[in-house]
């Protein structure tokens, strides 16, 4: 009989989401504090170890490694496994690469790796010797894989704090980890010091770990802030690339970037080149003549050619301020500790690692001790057997089965065994070998009876006893085990240590004095397709007729001004005049979509004018639904690039006309149905830009306002309607909110 369980839906969703989030956090996205590896990295390295892809053996196809890892340990898709494999092989991302890649494994400039079927890989020596060694000595727990057909290590027996050496990055549900890489030599020295004295403060530990050491070099310029970052586990590191001044022939100067910030790896190098080009195009500098990217396998080399007499120091500061040549690395030292995510400081990371390292050493030497005790037991049995070899041979010859021999050797049972002499049987009853010794005796070859073999056995036994004594000392004395770990760290440091690549310093915040450009008059031109450009007044006067004919909006403005674009959606976008390219007259302009937040697909520009002019005027707004209002132009003098210019009556409403109230004494509204109404602008109330306004005309059903006109009493104003010219000044003067006059077609 089925039972229906009633539960609150919100509680069920909450529990399910928390379960999902924890699964992502612990099983996929975050590294373990002990080995500093995410599950996909750990499983990939272990699978390579199982496949035998050692550093001194031939490479294996990446596709084979990925497929084997996915089939046995990580059923989350081949792309995540291959991505992890690629990153572990990239020396510009990892302080200590763990995979030796053969083929195209991507570049520092953001080029992707070749498909896994084309590349090959094997373990680096450090991975094999420092990350995977001693797996056969029961140093870590093995857990069932996803389908319980294989066993995988819960954590790798890593002998260095990989969380610090290689850093980590990962995005989980509601949390992010971002740990910078550090120098292996410095980390090893810090671990040694911390093992000797657990009372060391963060400041004292930083005498060994001075700060991050990025594989791309560069420099950290807020050294004094690192202490707080290491104490709290969170903070921001300011990093800069390395720029050198080189002199060429004929007095030429070159700024050469030889090291980049760690955050510039990949597509950001291309963005940097574009940003430098933008500095030139926006006339923020005129000192750069050419830029070339000469980066190769030998390293980063981006060359900026400068014009003669250029201020190289000022230009260097401009690059730091306006491009990603100076960037921020956000630190959040989040890792899985004791099965749950935790933000850790430097001391905690070292605490967890050292506890883990002592646990590894304890389990290792317990395993080694157990093996040596077994070996000693067998050796002592064989030595004892040599002394009574004649008796053993007699037992063997008189027995019918191996079990009889085994029982006799271990318990002295002689029943069923024929002895030549009674004394032999009496002696046999006194035998008391262990089961392991008895098995070794039965497997013993006659060659062991030779005198030299016996001597070797005795010597081997003495060595075994020394090992047992050493292992017991290590296990029973904390200081001795600590000395073993210290020696191990020294060997690793000597074999794999490298010099620091990142410079640590304190640099002042760059205050850039931007050169003040001369404020000049220009002419803004925008055609009906939305392409904008500015030309100098002389060029405009020379081409006045063509410019007036081709341009939808045309006006003079100052280069320091901003231009306001009012759209039918009731929005105003602003563009700095300096951001608009200065062109020759016949050169094509730039789409205003690229210069502002304007979208030509969803909006139509109703009015374009300089902001300096707008703020001195009062603007008349007319909407599709016949709503009108007057707004003071000062409300549109805002610093934001996009603001709401007016409020529309409903979603279908649109702005159809915007004009300056001072341009006319009367406002004429024209509808699609042929109705015209003329009323005084004095009847239109002044409102805030956030107001809808008041009704200017009563519309017939399905009719809407098509256009608006501001006219003056003394000037004749004619528009073409239904194939004939209509004088708007002769329309009957009405009150606002009337029906207007229908004009026959």
* Integer CA distances (angstroms), 137 to 12, 41, 106, 133, 395, in order: 44, 22, 37, 9, 38
**Quick one: angle between helices 346-387 and 451-476, nearest 10?**
150
320 is catalytic: no
**CA pair distance 63, 314, nearest whole angstrom:** 51
**CA pair distance 43, 81, nearest whole angstrom:** 9
Is the sign of the CA dihedral 31, 34, 40, 45 positive or negative?
positive
* Integer CA distances (angstroms), 356 to 35, 363, 427, 480, in order: 9, 11, 53, 17
**CA pair distance 329, 76, nearest whole angstrom:** 29
Q: Which helix (H) or strand (E) holds 340?
A: strand 340-343
DSSP string, 727-743: EGGGSPB--TTB--EEP
Task: Choose the catalytic residue: 54, 118, 194, 657.
Answer: 118
**Cβ atoms of 385 and 439 closer than 8 Å:** no
Question: What does DSSP assign to residue 128?
Answer: I
**CA pair distance 213, 225, nearest whole angstrom:** 16
**CA pair distance 174, 133, nearest whole angstrom:** 35
Q: Is 174 left (phi over 0), alpha (psi -120 to 50) or beta?
A: left
**Quick one: angle between helices 184-196 and 478-496, nearest 10?**
170
What burial class does residue 522 get, using C-beta atoms within 10 Å of its C-beta: 0-12 exposed, 13-18 middle, 19+ buried?
Answer: buried
Listed in sequence order, the DSSP H helices in 430-516 are: 435-443, 451-476, 478-496
**CA pair distance 574, 555, nearest whole angstrom:** 16
Give the list of residues 6+ apart from residue 471 with CB closer than 8 angstroms, or none.
365, 368, 369, 372
**CA pair distance 276, 304, nearest whole angstrom:** 9
Residue appearing with tokens 């890792």: 335
Q: Residue 41's closest CA among 3, 97, 92?
A: 97
Q: Residue 578's closest CA among 636, 511, 524, 633?
A: 524
Catalytic residues: 118
């Amino acid at each position: 009989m089925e039972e229906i369980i009633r539960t609150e839906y919100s509680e069920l969703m909450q529990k399910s989401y928390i379960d999902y989030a924890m699964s992502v956090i612990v099983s996929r996205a975050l590294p373990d504090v002990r080995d500093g590896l995410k599950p996909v990295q750990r499983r990939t390295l272990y699978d390579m170890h199982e496949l035998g892809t050692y550093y001194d053996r031939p490479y294996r196809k990446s596709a084979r490694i990925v497929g084997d890892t996915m089939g046995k340990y990580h059923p989350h898709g081949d792309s995540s496994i291959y991505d992890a494999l690629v990153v572990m092989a990239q020396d510009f991302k990892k302080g200590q690469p763990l995979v030796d890649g053969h083929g195209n494994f991507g570049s520092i400039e953001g080029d992707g790796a070749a498909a896994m079927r084309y590349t090959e890989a094997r373990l680096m020596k450090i991975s094999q010797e420092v990350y995977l060694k001693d797996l056969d000595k029961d140093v870590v727990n093995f857990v069932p894989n996803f389908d319980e057909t294989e066993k995988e290590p819960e954590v790798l027996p890593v002998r260095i704090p990989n969380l610090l050496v290689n850093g980590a990055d990962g995005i989980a549900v509601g949390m992010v980890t971002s740990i910078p890489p550090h120098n292996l030599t410095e980390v090893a020295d810090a671990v040694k010091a911390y093992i000797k004295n657990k009372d060391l403060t963060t400041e004292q530990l930083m005498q060994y770990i001075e700060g991050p050491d990025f594989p791309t070099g560069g420099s950290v310029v807020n050294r004094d802030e690192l202490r707080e970052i290491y104490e709290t586990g969170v903070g921001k590191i300011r990093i800069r690339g390395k720029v050198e001044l080189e002199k060429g022939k004929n007095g030429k100067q070159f700024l050469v970037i030889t090291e980049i910030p760690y955050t510039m790896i990949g597509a950001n190098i291309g963005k940097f080149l574009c940003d430098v080009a933008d500095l030139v195009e926006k006339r923020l500098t005129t000192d750069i003549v050419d830029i070339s990217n000469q980066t190769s396998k030998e390293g980063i080399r981006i060359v900026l050619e400068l014009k003669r007499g250029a201020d190289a120091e000022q230009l260097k500061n401009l690059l730091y301020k306006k491009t990603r040549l100076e960037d921020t690395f956000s630190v959040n030292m989040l890792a899985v500790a004791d099965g749950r995510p935790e933000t850790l400081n430097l001391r905690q990371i070292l605490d967890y690692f050292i506890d883990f390292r002592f646990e590894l050493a304890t389990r290792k030497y317990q395993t080694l001790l157990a093996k040596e005790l077994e070996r000693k037991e067998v050796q002592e049995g064989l030595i004892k057997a040599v002394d009574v070899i004649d008796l053993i041979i007699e037992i063997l010859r008189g027995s019918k089965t191996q079990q009889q021999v085994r029982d006799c050797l271990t318990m002295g049972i002689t029943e069923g065994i024929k002895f030549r002499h009674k004394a032999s049987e009496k002696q046999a009853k006194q035998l008391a070998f262990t089961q392991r010794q008895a098995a070794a005796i039965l497997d013993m070859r006659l060659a062991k009876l030779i005198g030299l073999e016996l001597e070797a056995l005795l010597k081997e036994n003495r060595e075994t006893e020394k090992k047992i004594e050493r292992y017991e000392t290590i296990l029973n004395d904390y200081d001795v085990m600590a000395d073993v770990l210290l020696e191990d760290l020294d060997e690793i440091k000597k074999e794999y240590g490298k010099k620091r690549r990142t410079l640590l310093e304190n640099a002042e915040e760059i205050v850039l004095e931007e050169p003040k450009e001369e404020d000049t008059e220009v002419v803004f031109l925008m055609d009906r397709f939305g392409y904008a450009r500015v030309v100098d007044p002389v060029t405009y006067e020379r081409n006045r007729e063509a410019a007036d004919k081709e341009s939808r909006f045309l006006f003079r403005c100052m280069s320091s001004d901003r231009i306001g674009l009012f759209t039918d959606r009731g929005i105003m976008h602003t563009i700095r005049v300096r951001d608009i390219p200065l062109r020759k007259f016949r050169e094509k302009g730039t789409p205003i979509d690229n210069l502002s937040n304007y979208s030509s697909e969803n909006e139509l520009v109703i009015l374009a004018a300089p902001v300096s002019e707008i703020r001195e005027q009062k603007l008349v707004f007319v909407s599709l639904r016949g709503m009108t209002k007057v707004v003071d132009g000062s409300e549109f003098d805002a610093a934001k690039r996009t603001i709401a210019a007016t409020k529309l009556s409903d979603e279908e409403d649109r702005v159809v006309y915007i004009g300056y109230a001072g341009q006319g004494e009367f406002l004429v509204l024209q509808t699609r149905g042929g109705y015209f109404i003329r009323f005084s602008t004095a009847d239109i109330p002044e409102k805030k830009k956030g107001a809808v306004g008041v009704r200017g005309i009563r519309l017939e059903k399905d009719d809407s306002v098509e256009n608006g006109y501001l006219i003056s009493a003394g000037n004749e104003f004619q528009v073409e309607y239904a194939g004939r010219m209509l004088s708007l000044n002769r329309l009957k003067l009405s009150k606002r909110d009337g029906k207007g006059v229908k004009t026959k077609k």
